[in-house]
Structures are given as structure tokens and as C-alpha cells.
């Protein structure tokens, strides 16, 4: 079952990444003058995910995460089917918006199911396996989408993703899930925000996500504008990062032993140091490719710990809590893109690295503070 959840993450995650490498072919096929206009559909997809995760993900607490996941996946199929058959950019944007709503429902539900299905004492290891689906989407999704678009057609990219999710849905419908006890009270973003420990945990998500996207979103521009490299070479960065992200599964058993607070302290401190260490090497393409592997390892560990931390707060409101996780992560994409841009345009990628190092240090400080409070409470008890 965990393997199937990982595949689902890979399939729905791929849709958020494949539009960029095939944007030129999509623009030509739809008669759009500027390739950048196609990315409007990606923006609408992100809005759909964020709003759905905020307002619809709590539904899982009533109907069960397995029902919410399957409902969300059916919406993703509908959105991808419309995207594959669309005759115009507005309908492509609509299709991506529908897919985003489906992802906002299904992704938090998948994370909730991973926490429910995890054997006792192996929560982080199980969550790490599910999160490795993002490696499938980054390494396989981005690479294969370019080949499919070139050899077949860009519409085939969305069609293949839709078919993959349909197959996953057929298998899921035949599997037995743990019985779900509906929440007695209606859960919502407001009720989830009252869960003890939720705000510090979401702060960790925001620091991790903003620090990542603040660099990742501008690496392509750094390669083409500063290093004068071909845009196609950015694929090597994604490949290296994805391999590091997947290889980090080897460290997931360590996370179960140390726990979220101590683990986040180590990971955030490691990220702060890593961002500083990356700074003098950003003029070398070969070094950046190598550094992406280590970055992928640290991000996997950070993502695993932040998601695991949230999933343990209140099992009765896990759907609402995990919805806030997805909303916060997608908010970090917007925040990073807007806040980092002025500094990148004046100081380059070095600015992005130093700001992200500062955010990682803030994340480490919160983890240290939370651990000190927990230690003192245990001592008083």
C-alpha cells in the first residue's frame, strides 16, 4: 500500500513540474504568441491546490482519508483529461485548476494515510517512502515529459499521467483500508489552527519551503543569464537533486530514533551551513550539479520531519492539519518568488543563498526552543 501511495505522489507531483519543459510546444499547439503565457495555467494550478488544501482537505476527517484521496484523484484525472483535449489556453488553465483542486484534496489525504498505515516506531521511515514519490516526479516526470512531447505530442504527456492515475485508482478501489472513525466535530482551517503546537510546526514548513523555492526558482535564470549555459542543461540539476532526495531514504530510520524536534534542529542547522558553503561555488556549473545532490538529501529529511511533526499533533483533525501543511507550502512558493526577486536582480544568486541560510537558522532556532520547552516540561513532570 505504501508503494502505491508513493506512486500516486509521483503521478500527481509530476503534473506540477511537466508544464514548464513543454511550455513552448504547448504554446505552438494552442496558437499562443508567448511561451510565458502558458505558465498562467501553472499559476492557476497552484491557486487551486492552495485553496483546496485549505478548505476541502478537512473533509477527510469526516469521510476518511482514503475516500478523500480517491475523490481528489478523480478530479485530477478530470483536469488532466481536459488539459490533454483542450483547444485553447483558457480551457488548459481550467483543466489545470481542476487538477489543482484534486491535488489539494488528495495530497494531504495521502500524507494522513501514510501516518495511519505506518508501523509503530517507523513513522518517519514510512513517510519517507511516500515522499520519495517526489523523486519519481522530478527525475522521471520532467525527463519523460520532454521525450513524450518530442516523440509523440505534448497532449500525450497529460494523457499518460491521467492513465497512470486511473490505473492507480482501480487498484486502490480493490484495497482494504483501516476503518475510519469520523470526527465528532466539524473540522476546518480555524479548528486546526487551535491545535496545540500547530503554529510552530507551520513556521517550520514556511521556513523550509521559502528557503528552498527562493533558490530553486532562480537557479534557471542564474544558469542562463550569469553562467551563459543552455536552458536544457538545467535538467542535470533536477536529476542530481532528485537522486539526492531519493537517496536520503537511507537516513529515514535515524529520524524515527531522534524525533521531529531534534531532527529539525540538525537538518535546519545543516541547511544553513550548506547554503553558506554553496555560495563560493555558484560560478561553476559542475559544482552546482554536485551540490544539488546534497541539497536533495537535506530537503528530503526536512520535508519528512515537518510532515511527520504535523501528522502527530491531532489524529482527529489530521485532514485539516495536513491541508494547512499543503497551503503553507504553496504559500511559500509565492512568497519566495516575490520576496527574493528584487535581491536576485541586484545581487544575484548569492542573495538568495544568504536569505535562505537566514531562514534555515530561524527554523533551527524554533526547533531548539521547542526542544528546550519540551525538556523543561518533562523535567517538571
pLDDT digits 0-9 by tens, 23-52: 778 888 888 877 667 777 877 888 888 888
Q: Are 135 and 242 in contact (CB under 8 A)?
A: yes
What is the pLDDT, as a whole number, of residue 232?
A: 67
What is the pLDDT, as a whole number, of residue 136?
A: 76
Q: What does the block give as the cell for 254? A: 535515524
pLDDT value at 155 more than 70: yes
Q: What is the CA radius of gyration of the chain?
A: 20
What is the pLDDT, as a whole number, of residue 361?
A: 97
- What backbone torsions phi and psi does residue 144 show, to the nearest 5 degrees? -65, -35
Task: Tell me whether residue 36 is exposed, middle or buried, using C-beta atoms within 10 angstroms of its C-beta: 0 to 12, 13 to 18, 19 or more.
Answer: exposed
What average pLDDT does range 368-375 have in this prediction?
A: 77
pLDDT tens, 325-340? 888 988 887 788 778 8
Dihedral of alpha carbons 236, 238, 240, 243, sign: negative
What is the pLDDT, as a whole number, of residue 329?
A: 86
Q: Are 60 and 108 in contact (CB under 8 A)?
A: yes
Task: Work out the mean pLDDT of the chain and round it to a whole number.
Answer: 85
- What is the DSSP track for 283-324? T-HHHHHHHHHHHHHHHHHHHHHHHHHHHTT-GGGHHHHHHH
What is the pLDDT, as a whole number, of residue 82?
A: 96
The interaxial angle of helices 285-311 and 123-131, nearest 10 deg, is: 130
User: Could you identify the residue written with the cell 494515510?
Assistant: 113
pLDDT tens, 204-217? 999 999 999 888 87
- What backbone torsions phi and psi does residue 121 show, to the nearest 5 degrees? 85, -5
User: Could you identify the residue written with the cell 530510520?
Assistant: 253
- From the list 164, 154, 151, 145, the residue with the least C-alpha distance to 10 is 164
Task: Tell me whether residue 43 is exposed, middle or buried, using C-beta atoms within 10 angstroms of its C-beta: 0 to 12, 13 to 18, 19 or more.
Answer: middle
Lowest mean pLDDT among 53-62, 120-129, 204-213: 120-129
Dihedral of alpha carbons 205, 238, 86, 103, sign: negative
Domain boundaries defined on the chain: 1-182, 192-381
What is the pLDDT, as a whole number, of residue 66?
A: 86
Exposure b/e, 180-193, CB count within 10 A at least 16 = b: beebeeebbbebbe
pLDDT value at 355 more than 90: yes
Q: Give the architecture-level CATH label for domain 192-381.
A: Up-down Bundle (1.20)
- From the list 240, 236, 263, the residue with the least C-alpha distance to 252 is 263
Q: What percent of the chain has pLDDT over 70?
A: 93
Same topology, domains 1-182 and 192-381? Answer is yes
What average pLDDT does range 118-145 have in this prediction?
A: 77
pLDDT value at 381 more than 50: no
Task: Specify the higher pLDDT residue, 176 or 165.
Answer: 165
Report the C-alpha gap between 11 and 133 in whole angstroms.
Answer: 8
Helix ranges (DSSP H) in the chain: 2-18, 23-30, 35-55, 60-63, 65-85, 89-117, 123-131, 133-135, 142-151, 154-173, 189-193, 198-221, 234-247, 252-278, 285-311, 318-347, 349-380
pLDDT value at 149 more than 80: no
pLDDT value at 63 more than 50: yes
pLDDT tens, 173-196? 887 777 766 666 666 777 788 888
pLDDT value at 341 more than 80: yes
Q: Which of the four CATH numbers 3.40.605.10, 3.40.50.300, 3.30.2020.30, 1.20.1250.20 does domain 1-182 have?
A: 1.20.1250.20
Amino acid at each position: 500500500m505504501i508503494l502505491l501511495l508513493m506512486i500516486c505522489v509521483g503521478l500527481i507531483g509530476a503534473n506540477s513540474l511537466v508544464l514548464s519543459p513543454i511550455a513552448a510546444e504547448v504554446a505552438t499547439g494552442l496558437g499562443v504568441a508567448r511561451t510565458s503565457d502558458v505558465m498562467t495555467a501553472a499559476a492557476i494550478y497552484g491557486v487551486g491546490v492552495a485553496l483546496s488544501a485549505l478548505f476541502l482537505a478537512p473533509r477527510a476527517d469526516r469521510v476518511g482519508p482514503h475516500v478523500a484521496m480517491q475523490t481528489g484523484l478523480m478530479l485530477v484525472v478530470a483536469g488532466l483529461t481536459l488539459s490533454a483535449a483542450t483547444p485553447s489556453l483558457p480551457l488548459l488553465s481550467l483543466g489545470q485548476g481542476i487538477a489543482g483542486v484534486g491535488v489539494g484534496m488528495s495530497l494531504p489525504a495521502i500524507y494522513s494515510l501514510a501516518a495511519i498505515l505506518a508501523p509503530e516506531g517507523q513513522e518517519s521511515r514510512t513517510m519517507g517512502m511516500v515522499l520519495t514519490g517526489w523523486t519519481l516526479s522530478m527525475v522521471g516526470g520532467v525527463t519523460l515529459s520532454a521525450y513524450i512531447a518530442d516523440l509523440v505530442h505534448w497532449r500525450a504527456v497529460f494523457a499518460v499521467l491521467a492513465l497512470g492515475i486511473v490505473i492507480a485508482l482501480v487498484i486502490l478501489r480493490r484495497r482494504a483500508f483501516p476503518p475510519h472513525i469520523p470526527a465528532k466535530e466539524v473540522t476546518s482551517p480555524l479548528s486546526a489552527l487551535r491545535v496545540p503546537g500547530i503554529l510552530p510546526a507551520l513556521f517550520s514548513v514556511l521556513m523550509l519551503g521559502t528557503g528552498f523555492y527562493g533558490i530553486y526558482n532562480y537557479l534557471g535564470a542564474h544558469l542562463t543569464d550569469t553562467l551563459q549555459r543552455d536552458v536544457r542543461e538545467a535538467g542535470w540539476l533536477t536529476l542530481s537533486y532528485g537522486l539526492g532526495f531519493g537517496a536520503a531514504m537511507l537516513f529515514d530510520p535515524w529520524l524515527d530514533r531522534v524525533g521531529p524536534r531534534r531532527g529539525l534542529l540538525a537538518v535546519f542547522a545543516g541547511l544553513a551551513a550548506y547554503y553558506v558553503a554553496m555560495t563560493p561555488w555558484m560560478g561553476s556549473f559542475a559544482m552546482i550539479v554536485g551540490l544539488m545532490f546534497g541539497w536533495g538529501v537535506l530537503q528530503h529529511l526536512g520535508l519528512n520531519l515537518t510532515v511527520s511533526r504535523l501528522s502527530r499533533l491531532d489524529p482527529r483533525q489530521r485532514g485539516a492539519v495536513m491541508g494547512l501543511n499543503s497551503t503553507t507550502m504553496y504559500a511559500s512558493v509565492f512568497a519566495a518568488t516575490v520576496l527574493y526577486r528584487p535581491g536576485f536582480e541586484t545581487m544575484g544568486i548569492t542573495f538568495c543563498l544568504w536569505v535562505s541560510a537566514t531562514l534555515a537558522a530561524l527554523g533551527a532556532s524554533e526547533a531548539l526552543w521547542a526542544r528546550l520547552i519540551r525538556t523543561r516540561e518533562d523535567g517538571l513532570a
